[in-house]
């Protein structure tokens, strides 16, 4: 199956363990030096219908992604509030 980055925004992220629905992909975090995708970025939940802003974005490490489907992306772990740390060379 082929997909474009723009099409990922229409896919819902679902946890494999308990079927939790985490939301839709908003962006990707890419390491520009290696060209590898580091994580999926999910928008934070809105506070009071968006009037009070949003919570922090949530990140799912690329290693946690298990399967891409037509409408969903299955992941092994829940999103983190901070991007995963990567060691610098």
Q: Where are the domains of the chain?
A: 5-75
Note whether 75 and 16 are within 8 A (CB). yes
5-75 is classed CATH 3.30.1330.200: no
Count the alpha carbons within 13 Å of 88 in the hemisphere toward its beta carbon. 0
How do the pLDDT tens digits run along the chain, 89 residues long? 677 778 888 899 999 989 999 999 988 899 999 989 899 998 877 666 656 666 788 999 999 999 998 899 999 988 877 765 655 44
**CB-neighbour burial class of residue 56 (10 A; exposed 0-12, middle 13-18, buried 19+):** exposed
Q: What is the pTM of this model?
A: 0.74
Note whether 16 and 78 are within 8 A (CB). no
């Amino acid at each position: 199956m082929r997909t474009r980055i723009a099409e990922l925004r229409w896919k819902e992220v679902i946890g494999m363990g308990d079927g939790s629905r985490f939301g839709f992909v908003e962006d990707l975090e890419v390491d520009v030096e290696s060209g590898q995708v580091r994580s999926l970025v999910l928008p934070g939940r809105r506070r009071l219908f968006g009037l009070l802003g949003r919570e922090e974005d949530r990140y799912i490490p690329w290693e946690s992604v298990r399967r891409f489907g037509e409408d969903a992306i299955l992941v092994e772990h829940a999103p983190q509030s901070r991007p995963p740390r990567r060691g610098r060379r």
